[in-house]
Amino acid sequence: MRFPSIAVVCCSFVAATAAWGQSVSLQTDSLPSEQGWSLVGTGLHAGAGETDLFTPGPAAMTFDSMGEPIAISPGSYQARYDFAMPARGVSSDEIRLRARVRIVDSQVLQFNYGFRMAVASGGWGMGLGLSTDLMSYSDLSSTSIDASQWHTYLLIGDLSTQTYDTYVDGQLIAPGKAMYATGGDFAELGDGTGTANAEAEIGSFRATIPAPGAAGLLGLAGTLSLRRRRRV
């Protein structure tokens, strides 16, 4: 997956979806590859295997990129892991991501995407990056949060306006602007950049994209400017 207007955000897990509108989820008790996902690694993290990164559990899946190479350099931005997974069709005009996550540890040189989750459809996407004390958005703005505690994150997007709202434990935290994305319709989770690493526990993950027709509402193009840093 790529957000061209923020070229540095490019290390992720992607679940590619079919043309009819889809829902994707991740079960915690088995490896992603056993659920139909396939792992691809490039850049600084190309040598990491699935079992190096993921540990299934009965209540939570652990993702851990701590100890993987980390740097601020042109090559560091291409550290990425992708998961592709077909899913069931969903009829909806809404794009949505819901996940229960806590960040156990993080190391950040630049950009807080050591753990990232996102969803995209029709050329537009929305997502969050998490370190232990910050929640960063697709436009690189951030909100202070104690992400070391369990939280339920919910993103609800409107493809007709390329906007979305971010909720944490049911509370509206901040609105956001969707980012231009390539790579089709997908959901993603995992390491979002070669400039940060994280250890995360994933209690649940589910994303939905709209059926055809909703994506046709998208006609707006352009590069989104960085927004002012937000704090709660």
Is 171 inside a domain boundary?
yes
Domains identified in the chain, total number: 1
Is 225 inside a domain boundary?
no
Query: Which of 76-85, 94-103, 213-222 has the weakest average pLDDT?
Result: 213-222
Range of the domain at 186: 14-217
Is 228 inside a domain boundary?
no
d(CA 31, CA 186) in angstroms, rounded, equals: 19
Is 114 inside a domain boundary?
yes
Q: Where are the beta strands (DSSP E) in the chain?
A: 14-16, 23-25, 38-42, 54-55, 61-64, 80-84, 94-108, 115-121, 124-130, 134-137, 142-144, 151-158, 163-168, 171-177, 179-180, 186-190, 196-208
Residue 183 has a pLDDT of 67
**What's the predicted TM-score (pTM) here?**
0.78
- Please, which pLDDT band fits residue 149 given cuts at 50, 70 and 90? very high
**CATH number, residue 180:** 2.60.120.200
Is 7 inside a domain boundary?
no
Is 4 inside a domain boundary?
no
Is 102 inside a domain boundary?
yes
Tens of pLDDT, residue by residue over 119-135, are 888 788 888 999 999 99
Tens of pLDDT, residue by residue over 23-54, are 788 899 999 888 877 776 667 777 778 888 89
d(CA 65, CA 53) in angstroms, rounded, equals: 6
Is 230 inside a domain boundary?
no
